[in-house]
Every structure is written in C-alpha cells, then in structure tokens.
C-alpha cells in the first residue's frame, strides 16, 4: 500500500516536481485535444495516413525557412513547415485526382519525396544548421518546462510553448465550431455537400492547412511520429463507445487528460520517454474499447450474433 501511495504522489512530491510535471501535463492535454479534433475528421474521410505524410513532409519547409531567414525562432519555423505541409497535402490531392494513382500510393510517393528532399537539404547545409532531426521526429515533451517565457511589454506571461500550443488549440476549437456543418457534410457525403453548394475543395484544403498547423505545433512536444497516434487513437477509441460525432468530439477532453496523466505516471514508474508513454497509454485505453465497446466491439459483436441466431431459431 505504501508503494502505491509513493507511486501516486511521486510525480508531485515537491513544488519543483509539481510545477514541472504540471506543465508537461498541460502540454500533453493541449496536443492531444488538437490532434484528436483534427484526427476525427481525418479518420472520417479515411485519410488517417495523411497526418503521417504531412508530418514527414514538413522537414524541407523547416530547413528552407532556416536557409532563407538564418533563424531557428518559432515564427519562421512554423511558416516554413506549414507551407511545406500544405504543399504536401495539395500534392497528394492532385496526384490522387489528376492521375491514375490511388490515394495510398499518392501519399507514399509524396511524403517520401518531401522527406528525402528535406534530408538532402539538411545534409547540404549541415555545417550551418544546428537542427536535431531526432527531436523533430520523436520530440521531448519532458523538456517543455525549459522553454523560454513569453514576455510582452515587460509582462512575463509564462512558458512560451504552452502559450503557443494553447493558442493553436483555441484556434482549432474555434474552427471546429464555426465550420462544423461543412466538415460534417463533406466528411460523410461529398455528393450532398456539392448539391448544397458547399465549396468542397476549399473545405478540403482548409482541413489540410489546419492539420499542417497542428502537426507543426505538436512536433516540438511529442514529435511528428507520435502525432499520428494522437490523431487516430482518440476518435477510433470513442467510435466503439458512441455513434454520434458530437459525443466523439466532446470526449476528446477527458481522453486527453487520461492520456497525459497516464503517460506521466508510466514514464515515472518505468523510466520511459514521456511522449512514448502518452501514446502507449492511448493504446492501453483503446484495447478495452475495441473489445468491450457497445458500438461494434469484438465481444459485443459476438454476443449480438449469438442473440440473433437464437432469435432466428
């Protein structure tokens, strides 16, 4: 019992640990919420791998932003990465619609080409660019408290990364609320959307741009590889528990808190990287949802099948 108590209190045992892990927890929640909201609509469109493609495709944008500006500050990096991510998404869409290539082939071709171009640019300018590709790919959310504070007009507002991610999260929520009907109709029925006069292509490219923005904002914390897990696992987990889209979106908040808190405890107890622990926690939560969920879960499907057979007799 004492060991359990020490485990539960451990990450918050001192004011320094409390402050440190609280910032990690908040960042984890913000990243998970953003990724889950965008991921819900991406999964509905059967484009789950688009997040992975864009997350790899942003590398040339980051390198080019540094080459042209000579700065690794937040704004140039975001601008370059967002433009590269949007270009990657547009290229995938163009190849899929204008050539015989299927969507999965278009994604594979595009993101490998973009990622390879980024690695070549990085290699050509390796002496001038002090950019850790491992950090971009895997992230390190545990170091978020070391980020500089945001100071405006002499007022210290606190951790810069938390503020920037918070603003992106607010913007994502706002876009989801304002354009919810457009996203809903275009995700389920393109023919109906076109008949209603909804600009399908604009909605599609807008979603890609927002996806690129969320990926860029998140890679510093959890890395571009684990962003994909945060996009897919929340909506797929909730799809086994409820069949209404608003409920899936609303449950992103408690799920994000569970992921972040579980990741902190898993990393604390087993000495795992926190970002990987958050993704692993999401997988652990997904398993019972998949097996026991009332909306298409494995066991519920077996039970319903047996009930149907018995009623047929």
Q: For position 52, which CATH number holds?
A: 1.10.3470.10
Would you say residue 150 lies in a domain?
no
- pLDDT tens digits, residue range 88-127? 878 887 887 888 888 778 888 888 888 888 888 877 765 5
DSSP string across 96-157: HHHSS--HHHHHHHHHHHHHHHHHHHHHHTTTT----HHHHHH--GGGGGGSPEEEETTEEE
Whether the pLDDT of residue 132 is over 60: the answer is no
Would you say residue 268 lies in a domain?
yes
Would you say residue 66 lies in a domain?
yes
What is the residue whose two structure tokens read 């927002």? 210
- Note down the domain range covering 103: 15-142+160-312
| pLDDT at residue 293, rounded to an integer | 82
Alpha-carbon span 312 to 30, nearest angstrom: 49
| pLDDT at residue 153, rounded to an integer | 77
- pLDDT tens digits, residue range 139-178? 678 888 888 887 877 788 888 888 888 988 999 999 999 9
CA-only gyration radius of the chain, Å? 21
State pTM to two decimals.
0.83
Would you say residue 75 lies in a domain?
yes
Alpha-carbon span 261 to 29, nearest angstrom: 9
Whether the pLDDT of residue 311 is over 60: the answer is no
Predicted confidence band of residue 280 (pLDDT cuts 50, 70, 90):
confident
Whether the pLDDT of residue 47 is over 80: the answer is no
What is the residue whose two structure tokens read 């992106």? 168
Which structure tokens are listed for 15?
């004011």
| pLDDT at residue 170, rounded to an integer | 93
List all residues 6 or more positions away from 253 whose beta carbon is below 8 Å from its beta carbon. 29, 33
Would you say residue 111 lies in a domain?
yes
Total domains, the chain: 1
Whether the pLDDT of residue 224 is over 80: the answer is no
| pLDDT at residue 11, rounded to an integer | 81
Would you say residue 293 lies in a domain?
yes
Would you say residue 154 lies in a domain?
no
| pLDDT at residue 174, rounded to an integer | 93
Would you say residue 84 lies in a domain?
yes
């Amino acid at each position: 019992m004492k060991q359990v108590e020490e485990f539960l209190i451990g990450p918050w045992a001192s004011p320094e640990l409390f402050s440190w892990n609280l910032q990690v927890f908040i960042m984890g929640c913000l990243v998970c919420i953003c990724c889950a909201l965008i991921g819900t609509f991406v999964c509905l469109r059967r484009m789950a791998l688009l997040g992975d493609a864009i997350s790899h495709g942003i590398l040339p944008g980051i390198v080019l932003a540094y080459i042209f500006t000579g700065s690794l500050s937040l704004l140039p990096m975001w601008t370059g990465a967002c433009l590269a991510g949007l270009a990657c998404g547009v290229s995938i869409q163009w190849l899929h619609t204008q050539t015989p290539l299927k969507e999965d082939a278009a994604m594979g071709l595009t993101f490998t080409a973009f990622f390879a171009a980024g690695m070549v640019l990085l290699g050509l300018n390796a002496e001038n660019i002090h950019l850790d590709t491992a950090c971009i790919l895997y992230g390190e959310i545990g170091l978020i408290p070391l980020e500089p504070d945001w100071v405006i007009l002499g007022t210290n507002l606190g951790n810069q990364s938390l503020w920037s991610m918070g603003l992106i999260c607010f913007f994502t929520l706002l876009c989801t609320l304002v354009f919810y009907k457009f996203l809903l109709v275009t995700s389920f029925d393109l023919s109906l959307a076109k008949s209603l006069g909804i600009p399908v292509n604009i909605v599609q490219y807008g979603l890609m741009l927002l996806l690129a923005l969320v990926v860029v904002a998140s890679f510093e914390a959890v890395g571009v590889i684990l962003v994909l897990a945060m996009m897919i696992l929340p909506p797929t987990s909730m799809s086994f528990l409820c069949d209404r889209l608003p409920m899936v979106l609303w449950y992103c908040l408690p799920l994000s808190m569970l992921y972040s808190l579980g990741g902190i405890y898993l990393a604390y107890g087993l000495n795992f990287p926190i970002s990987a622990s958050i993704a692993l926690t999401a997988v652990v939560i997904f398993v019972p949802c998949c097996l026991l969920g009332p909306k298409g879960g494995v066991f519920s499907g077996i039970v319903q099948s047996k009930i149907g057979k018995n009623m047929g007799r």
